[in-house]
Amino acid sequence: MKNLGKDEIAHVIVFENRGGKIGYRLSDGLTGELKQARPKLDKSIDSLVRELQRMLVASGLYEKEADAMIKTWRDSWFEAGMRVFYILPRRTTDAVLPVTIEPRPTELVRVLVGRTELITPEMEKAVQRQVNLLHVSSAKVREDAAREIRKYGRFSEPILKRILETEKDSRMRRRIQQLIEQRPEKTD
């Protein structure tokens, strides 16, 4: 992780839900670059919620506000996958989402949680396995492989572009490019 801004990022959580197993790592005070191993999958959602609530309260929210924010976003924040959550610096929040309130309040607390989705090596390998089936002569096998790739939704395009960077075979490159150009199917 790298903080490219001038202001410290007070709280960072690297989170992973793989097959229903949960892990996370906490960091405070990110000002430069930080390298971390993937979290061990030995935690619970409940312990993560408590840590996230603590961070939100430390950032200025009341407990009930922190609870409401977590309840609002819980389903998408903690679904399967790997992501980084971070509390944006107040100056960044104000620059991204300016607000004017009249009459001016005596106090205004704003907390914005950033979320960055990560593509895991397992996701890349699964897509690569399907890409390898795109050269099979059976149209059904190729269609099934393309459908499996599209199941990754918004992640399929960046994964395919990474695979395209190293693919040498021109026929495979064309097939990968065709998949990139197709609109991904909606997934539940």
**Residue 82 backbone phi and psi in degrees, to 5:** -125, 135
- pLDDT tens, 160-181? 999 999 889 898 898 899 888 8
Distance between CA atoms of residues 30 and 83, nearest Å? 16
DSSP annotation string for 22-82? EEEEEEEEE-SB---PPPPS-B-HHHHHHHHHHHHHHTT--HHHHHHHHHHHHHHHSSSEE
- pLDDT tens, 46-80? 999 999 999 999 999 999 999 999 999 998 899 88
Q: Are 131 and 168 in contact (CB under 8 A)?
A: no
- pLDDT tens, 74-120? 988 998 889 999 999 999 999 999 999 999 999 999 999 999 999 99
pTM of the predicted model as reported, rounded to 2 decimal places? 0.79
Q: Are 23 and 42 in contact (CB under 8 A)?
A: yes
Tokens 């839900």 -> residue: 17
Question: Is the pLDDT confidence value at 186 over 70?
Answer: no
Distance between CA atoms of residues 100 and 183, nearest Å? 39
Which region holds residue 29: left if phi is over 0, alpha if psi is between -120 and 50, else beta?
A: left
DSSP bridge pairs for 106:
none
pLDDT band at 188 (very low <50, low <70, confident <90, very high): very low
